[in-house]
Amino acid sequence: MRVLVAGAGVGGLTTAIALRAKGFDVEVLEAAPGPRTEGGGLGLAANATKVLAALGLDVVGSGVGRVCTSFRLRTQDGRLMRDLPIRAISAELGSPVVNVRRGDLLALLRDSLGDTPVRYGAAVADHRVDRSGVSVALADGGVRTADVLVGADGIRSAVRARLVGEHPVREHGYVCWIATTAFAHPRLPEGGAAHYWGRGQRFGLIDIGGGHAYWWGTKNVPLPQARRWTGGKLGVQAAFARWAAEVREVIAATPEADILAVPAQDRPFLATWGAGPVTLVGDAAHPMLTSLSQGAGSTVEDAHALAHHLAAGGDPAHALRRYEADRRDRTRGLVAASLRLSRVEQLANPLATRLRDLVIRHAPARVVRDQNAAPMRYDLPG
C-alpha cells in the first residue's frame, strides 16, 4: 500500500515512521522549502515517549533533550506554590517526560526515516479520490498518487480544508512568545521546569540540556495584537519587567530574532476527520491549546494508532474510519481539558487569581498527582 503524508512536522514524520515500520510505501510532502530548524521547544509527556519507544525511538538514549526531574509552579515573583510529583508520575507510568528543542526532535525523526522520501517545496493544493485511490495536486503543478492520503499539515491544513471546508480558527485573546537560548541559572536545575503564574500572564522556563533553556510567555492582549505582535523583544521585556530575576534574565539573554510570537488558537472539535482513503492526524484533526502539553503527545499517539489500524488489513477506507473512531474520544477530551485549563491559567481578575493560587497551594497531594498524570495515561493499541 502506498501512503502520502502531507506535512513534515512532528505528526507527519512520526506517521511516516510508524507506517514504514508496518511495511507501507510512504512519501512525505512538505510545503516549506527545506527542513524546519526554527521554533522553540516542547514537552514530550510520558505517553509520547512511550509511543516513540514502541516505534524504536529512544529519545533519552539519543541525547535529544533532557528528562524532566522537577516541575514547580511559582508566583510571578518566583515564590514556590507547588512542587509537582513529576518523578513519581513518570515512575508510575513507566516512561519519562522529556523536554526538547523542536528542531532537534525533528532532526531525530528525519534521521529515523532512513530512505523514506521527504519532498520539500511540495505544497498540497488539492486532492481527488477515485476508484484507484487518491491523487494529490501540488502547488507547483506536480501530481502524486497513492492508496491513502494523511493530512498532517497543521492547524491550517490544506487537506482538512478540502475535506470539510475553510473555517476560521478559534482565538483566545492572548499572545504566546516562545524561544530557546543558551542559559544557566541557580533557579533552573538540570532537568528542571518551572511555570510562573500571574494575572493574565504566565511564563515557563525549562531546561532542555546542553546548557540551553526553552522558555515561553503569555499575555492577554486584544486579538489584533495576538495575531500580529509588533512590540518586539522590548515589549516582551516590558510585559515581564517585575517578574522573577530568572524570567527577566532569560528574556534578556535571548536574541530578538529568536523570539517567535504566535496567537493562542485552536479549533472546535471536528467530529469527522476523513472520507474514503483520506484522514487527518495531529493539529490537522484536533488542534489544542498548549496548557496540557499534549499537542505532541496526542499527535504521536495518532501516528501509531493509524499505522496499527491500516496494518490490520481490509479496505483502507474502513481502516481509516476505525482509526478515527479509536482516537475520537481521547482527543476530544484533551482539546476540552486544554481549553478549560487555559482559561484558569489566563485569569486576570485579582480575586479569581488569588483563589486559583490558594487551590494550587492547598489541594490534596493525591488530587494533584492524579490530575497531572491523567492526560499521560495511554495504552498502546493491539
Domain boundaries, the chain: 2-169+267-376
Mean pLDDT of 356-381: 96
Cα(175)–Cα(221) distance, integer angstroms: 7
Mean pLDDT of 169-187: 97
Whether 382 shows a pLDDT value over 80: the answer reads: no
pLDDT number for residue 36? 84
Cα 346 from Cα 343, distance rounded (Å): 5
Name 213's bridge partners.
Answer: 181, 207
Grid coordinates belonging to 380:
498502546
Provide the b/e sequence for 104-126 (b: ≥16 CB within 10 Å): bbbbbbbebbeebebeeebbbee
Q: What is the pLDDT of residue 38?
A: 74
Give the CATH superfamily of 2-169+267-376.
FAD/NAD(P)-binding domain (3.50.50.60)
Query: Does 39 have pLDDT greater than 80?
Result: no
Backbone angles phi, psi at 373, to 5 degrees: -80, -30
Give tens-digit pLDDT for 208-261: 999 999 999 999 999 999 999 999 999 999 999 999 999 999 999 999 999 999
According to DSSP, residue 9 is labeled S
pLDDT (average), residues 150-166: 97
pLDDT at 141: 95
Mean pLDDT of 136-159: 97
* CA distance from start to end of the chain: 20
- Give mean pLDDT, residues 167-195: 97
Handedness of CA 182, 184, 185, 187 (dihedral sign): positive
Q: Give the 3-state secondary structure of residue 107.
A: helix
pTM of the full predicted structure?
A: 0.96
Residue 78 DSSP code: -
